[in-house]
Amino acid sequence: MNVHEEKISVPLITRSAVGGVLMGLANLVPGISGGTMLLAVGIYPRFIDAVARVTRLRLALTPVTLLGVVVLSAMLAILLLAGTVKDLVVEHRWIMYSLFIGLTLGGLPVVWKMTRSFDRPVIVGTVCGFIGMAALALAQAQGANTAASEGGFALFFVAGLAGASAMILPGVSGGYLLLVIGAYVPILSGIDAFRAGLSAGDGAVVMQTVIEVVLPVGLGVVVGVAAVSNLLRTALKRFEKLTLGVLIGLLLGAVVGLWPFQAPVEPVPGDVYRGQLLDSAMIADIDVEDWPTRPFNPSGTQVGAALVFILIGFGVTTLVDRIGRISDTD
């Protein structure tokens, strides 16, 4: 669908807002993809087309509005819920991951309808996308704590670039990439400091956070979103079936990395963390969200509850898609 020709409607704005919120929340969580959430609610092609048009200065009311709603919703979700989401994932990982599995699987019917037929290019793309995403998910399962970095302009610019790419690419976790390069905790800490500074009216803290964190991350995000969106727009235009097949494969493969029955395990002296042999003092300095995760055997109640949360997530995505179909009909 050409977003330039599409009319603005309340259902389209609602779908864009929900997609933006989910994208913002997803990029706070290592292992969850913001692009997957946009794909799940059915605005992914519209979002890609809107970004590509805006970055080429081909401005029109509909793409600018759609892009503004998605970005603003994502920013508000990140600003207001960064600490809450982080705590929920750390303390109730299996519940949150079950919800995200449902949200992700709910996107399959949406993309399936875009393909119109399950021909050879779609099949090839699906297989390639699934293999690539499943391989990345398995690599994530081996532990993301392989790098360490001190804060700095270059680190935060690269972090913004990586996070933006993950926001656009379904199945690739922005939080995971930030964790790999050692920027996950510094960025979330910067967000919390920025929010606290605003609440306290402390201009010095706000300005310091803007210069040290917000500015370099923001520049990286702008560059990353512009580059990746234009590449994907070209792929969807020239190789639509193959690209949509890859997106289906990414959705399916993303579920592999969302196995809910895993929990953070505290490192013990003698473990290797970010290339260092740990002792008791070093372990005390490691945040809980950076602990490695290990699978556990769920109880029957947990399995049943997980299925319920998956169905809830699936239902949310289906409801958003239904709202969007009203927009398409209008």
At residue 263, φ and ψ (nearest 5 deg) are -140, 150
Quick one: tokens of 267? 């490192």
Does residue 324 lie in a domain region?
A: yes
Q: By the 8 A CB rule, do 291 and 267 touch?
A: yes
Q: By the 8 A CB rule, do 67 and 275 touch?
A: no
Quick one: tokens of 50? 């809107």
Does residue 310 lie in a domain region?
A: yes
At residue 241, φ and ψ (nearest 5 deg) are -60, -45
d(CA 294, CA 202): 41
Does residue 174 lie in a domain region?
A: yes
Provide the angle, in degrees to the nearest 10, between the axes of the packed helices 61-91 and 93-105: 150
CA distances in angstroms from 237 to 96, 233, 242, 277, listed in the order given: 35, 6, 11, 50
Quick one: tokens of 213? 């964190």
Split into its structural domains, the chain has a count of: 1
Does residue 81 lie in a domain region?
A: yes
Is residue 1 classed as helix, strand or coil in its secondary structure? coil
Does residue 173 lie in a domain region?
A: yes
Does residue 287 lie in a domain region?
A: no
Q: Which residue range is the domain that position 212 belongs to?
A: 10-261+297-329
Quick one: tokens of 230? 């234009």
d(CA 25, CA 85): 7
pLDDT given for residue 69 in this prediction: 92
Does residue 245 lie in a domain region?
A: yes
pLDDT given for residue 245 in this prediction: 86
Neighbours of 139 (CB within 10 A): 14
pLDDT given for residue 6 in this prediction: 62
Quick one: tokens of 303? 């399995």
What single string gives the DSSP state of each residue in 83-125? HHHHHHHHHSHHHHHHHHHHHHHTTHHHHHHHH-S--HHHHHH
pLDDT given for residue 149 in this prediction: 43
Does residue 283 lie in a domain region?
A: no
pLDDT given for residue 62 in this prediction: 82
pLDDT given for residue 164 in this prediction: 72
List per-residue pLDDT tens for the chain, 330 residues long.
555 456 777 777 888 888 888 888 776 765 566 777 787 777 878 888 888 888 888 878 888 888 889 989 988 888 887 777 767 877 788 888 888 888 778 777 777 777 777 788 889 988 988 888 777 666 655 544 444 444 567 777 877 777 776 667 665 666 656 655 556 667 777 777 777 787 788 778 778 777 777 788 878 878 887 787 788 778 878 888 888 888 788 778 777 777 888 877 788 887 776 556 777 877 777 776 667 777 888 999 999 999 999 999 888 777 766 665 544 444
pTM: 0.62
Q: By the 8 A CB rule, do 49 and 224 touch?
A: no
